[in-house]
Structure 1
Amino acid sequence: MNFNIEEAVAILSRTPQTLTSLLSGLPEGWLDCNEGEGTWSADEVVGHLIDGEQTNWIPRLTFLLEEGESKPFPVFDRFAHLSAERRTTEQKLEEFAELRTRSIERLRAIIETDDLLERTGTHPAFGTVKARELVSAWVVHDLTHIAQIVRTMAKRYKTDVGPWVQYLGILNR
C-alpha cells in the first residue's frame, strides 16, 4: 500500500496551481477544444472539478465518517457542471483554488488520526469502500483530469504536426 495522507495532500494542494499555470491566459481555442462528441474541454474539466469540491470528495468523506455503512453516499452527478452558469475559465480557476484550499483544510480537520482512514462506508455503485480509498481516488481523479486536459490540448494540433505524429505518443492514444 502506497497511500500516505501527506503525499495525497501534496498532490491535491498543487492541482489548482498546476491548472492555473497551464490554462490561465490561453486563447479560447485551447480552452474549448475537446476530443469529440461526449468529451470535455479544459474549461469543462475545471467546472467538473469545482462541482467535485462542492458535492463529492469532502461531503462524501464526511458522510462516510458519520454514517459508516448504514446508508450509501448520495449519488454524485458527474455531468452537473455542463448545465452550470457560464463563467470564464479564469473565474473557474479562481473558484476552484478557493474551494480546494477549504477542502484541504477540512480534510486535515476531519482526519485527525490514520485509523479514521480505515473506516468504511457504502458507495452507491461499488458497495463497501474505505475512507483511504476515497481520498486516494480523489488524488488519482485530479491526475486523470490533468492528463486529460494535456491530451486534449495536444490533439488540437494532431493534423498540424505532419509526419511527426508517429513520434508523439500523446497523439496516438
Structure 2
Amino acid sequence: MNSELRELIAELRTDLEAGQPATLAWAQINEGAPADKIPADLPPPVRALLETADGLLAGAFDLPAMAGLDDIQYYIEQMPGFTGVADEPAEWLVFGTLSDEPLLVRRDTGAVWYFPAETTDEWFARELFLDIAPDLDSFLAYYVFGAGYGEIGFDDDKWWGFLDEHDLTTHGEENEDRETA
C-alpha cells in the first residue's frame, strides 16, 4: 500500500474517532493488525490493508477484520456460473462487501471485481461481473476514500458527506495524484 493512502487512512481514522460514538453507525476504521499475525496466504495487497486497517466500515463498504475474512468466503460458492469464480475458487478472495454484495480480488492479478448495481436484481441474478479497479490501492483510493464512492450510487449518505468535508469527492488534481500513487 502506498504511503499516501496509509496516511489518508490514518487521518480519517483519527477524525472518525474524534466523532464517536455518533460515527460508529456509518464508519469505523480499526487500527492495523501486526504483520506477523496476518495469514501468509492472503494476497499481498490485502495483507497491506490489514496492516493499515484491520477492518473498516465506510458507508456502504464493509471490509472485515482479519478474523472475519473466513466468514465471508461463502460468497464464492454462490457465485453465478458465468463468472467462473466457483470453478477456480483458489484464485479468488472475498475481501469485503458493498451493500452486502461481495467484493473480490483475483489472487494472480490483484484486480478488484464486483457486481455493478445497474438493476434491482439480487447480485447473484445479475449478468455483469466486472473488474472495477486494477488493484486494491486504486480501488480504495477512488471508490472507498474518493469520488468513486458517489459514482457507484452512494452520493447522499453520511460517508459521502464525511468524504466531502475532507475534499475527497471531486476529481481534483490532488485526488488524481492519490489515485495513481
TM-score, with structure 1 as normaliser: 0.31
Larger radius of gyration: 1
Decide which structure has greater helix share: 1
Report which of the two has the higher share of strand. 2
> Which structure would you say has the larger RCO, counting Cα contacts within 8 Å and 6 or more residues apart?
1
